[in-house]
A and B are shown apart, each in its own frame.
Chain A
Amino acid sequence: MIRYDIVICGIGGQGVISLGTILKLAAIEEGVSVMGAERRGGAQREGSVTSNIRYRGLSPGEAHDERAMATSGLIPAAGADMMIAMEPLEALRHAALLNERSVVIVNDFPLIPVSVRIGERAYPARDEIYARLRRFTPHVHVVDIDGLSKQNFNSLRQVNTVSLGLASALGALPVSEESILATVKQRFPDFETNKRAFDLGRSASGAATHGR
Chain B
Amino acid sequence: MHPLGSREKGTTILAMGNEAIVRGGLEAGIGFFTTYPGTPASEIGVEYMALRSEFPHLYVEFSINEHVAAHAAQGASWANIRAMTAMKHVGMNVAAEVLHFAGYTGVKAGFVVVIGSDPGATSSTSEQDDRWYSLHTHLPILEPATIQEAKDFTALAFELSERYNLPVIINAPSKLCHNIGSLSLGSLPATFRVKGTFERNPSRYINLFAGSVANHRAGMTSARRLADDAPSLGLNRVLSGAGRTGFISSSINYLYLMEALSILGVSDAPVMKIGMSYPLNAGEIAAFARGLERIYVVEDLEGFLEYQIKRLLYDENLRTEIVGKDIFPDYGELDVDLVTGILKDELARPLPANVQRTAALAAELTADIPPRQGAYCTGCPHRSTLYSIVKATERKVIFAGDIGCYTLSCLPPFRAFDWVTCMNCGTGIAHGIMHTNQDEEVIAYVGDSTFFHSGLPNLINAVQNGTSMVLVILDNKWVAMTGHQPSPTTARGVRGDTMKPVDLKGLLKSIGVTYVRTVSPHNIKQTIVTLHDALAAKSGVRVIIAEEECALQAERRATFSPPEYEVYYQIEPERCQKCNECYVDFGCPAIRSREAGGDFHYYIEESTCIRCGACHDLCLNSAILRTEIKRPGREAAS
Interface residues of A (CB under 8 A from B): 11-13, 20-21, 24-25, 27-28, 31, 33-48, 54, 66-68, 70-74, 76-78, 89-90, 92-93, 95-100, 112-124, 132, 135-136, 155-156
Contacts and interface: CB of A to CB of B under 8 A. Distances in A.
Residue among B181, B259, B261, B336 with max Cβ neighbours from chain A (10 Å): B181
A118 B413 contact: yes
B175 A37 contact: yes
Interface string B249-275: 000101110110111000100000000
A114 B180 contact: no
A171 B13 CA distance: 25
Given A43-B480, A113-B370, A72 B412 contact: no
A156 B361 CA distance: 34
B39 A42 contact: yes
A34 B13 CA distance: 10
Contacts of A54: 181
26 contacts: A31-B12, A34-B182, A35-B182, A36-B179, A37-B179, A38-B178, A40-B123, A40-B178, A41-B123, A43-B405, A44-B375, A44-B376, A44-B377, A67-B267, A71-B259, A73-B176, A78-B355, A78-B359, A100-B357, A114-B372, A114-B373, A114-B412, A115-B372, A116-B370, A135-B361, A156-B607
Nearest to B370: A121
A33 B354 CA distance: 26
Nearest to A72: B255
Contacts of A121: 370-371
- Nearest 10 Cβ contacts at the A-B interface: A35-B181, A70-B258, A121-B370, A47-B374, A72-B255, A44-B374, A46-B375, A76-B336, A73-B179, A78-B358
Interface in B172-230: 175-176, 178-182
B337 A117 contact: no
A95 B366 contact: yes
B255 A12 contact: no
Interface string B44-61: 000000000000000000
B4 interface: no
Question: Max chain B CB contacts within 10 Å: which of A36, A46, A89, A93?
Answer: A46
Contact of A67 (B39, B239, B483, B592): B239
A78 B181 contact: no
A34 to B, nearest CB: 5
Interface of B: 12-14, 39, 122-123, 146-147, 175-176, 178-182, 239, 252, 254-256, 258-259, 261-263, 267, 335-337, 340, 352, 354-355, 357-359, 361-362, 365-366, 368-378, 405, 408, 411-413, 480-483, 583-584, 587, 589, 592-593, 607
Given A24-B14, A42-B123, A136-B358, A76 B337 contact: yes
Given A46-B375, A46-B589, A123-B370, A95 B175 contact: no
A113 B255 contact: no
Contacts of A27: 182
Contacts of A124: 368-369
A131 B239 CA distance: 45
Given A43-B483, A117-B587, A36 B180 contact: yes
B593 A112 contact: yes
A32 B252 CA distance: 21
Contact of B607 (A21, A97, A155): A155
Which residue among A13, A21, A43, A72 has the maximum number of chain B CB atoms within 10 Å of its CB?
A72
Nearest to A34: B181
Contacts, number: 198
A72 B261 contact: no
A96 B239 CA distance: 31
B583 A117 contact: yes
A40 B42 CA distance: 13
B358 A42 contact: no
A66 B239 CA distance: 9
A89 B587 CA distance: 20
A70 B373 contact: no
A200 to B, nearest CB: 19
Given A44-B376, A44-B377, A73-B179, A93 B369 contact: yes
B341 to A, nearest CB: 9
Given A36-B181, A95-B366, A99-B358, 4 more contacts: A33-B182, A37-B178, A37-B180, A77-B359
Given A38-B180, A66-B239, A115 B412 contact: yes
Contacts of B374: 12, 41-42, 44-47
Given A11-B372, A89-B372, A136-B358, A70 B254 contact: yes
A74 to B, nearest CB: 6
A43 B485 CA distance: 12
A89 B369 CA distance: 7
Contacts of B358: 77-78, 95-99, 136
A156 B359 CA distance: 35
A169 B262 CA distance: 30
Given A45-B378, A67-B239, A114-B413, A24 B405 contact: no
B181 A122 contact: no
Given A37-B175, A72-B256, A114 B375 contact: yes
B586 to A, nearest CB: 11
A76 B267 contact: no
B589 A115 contact: no
B354 A76 contact: no
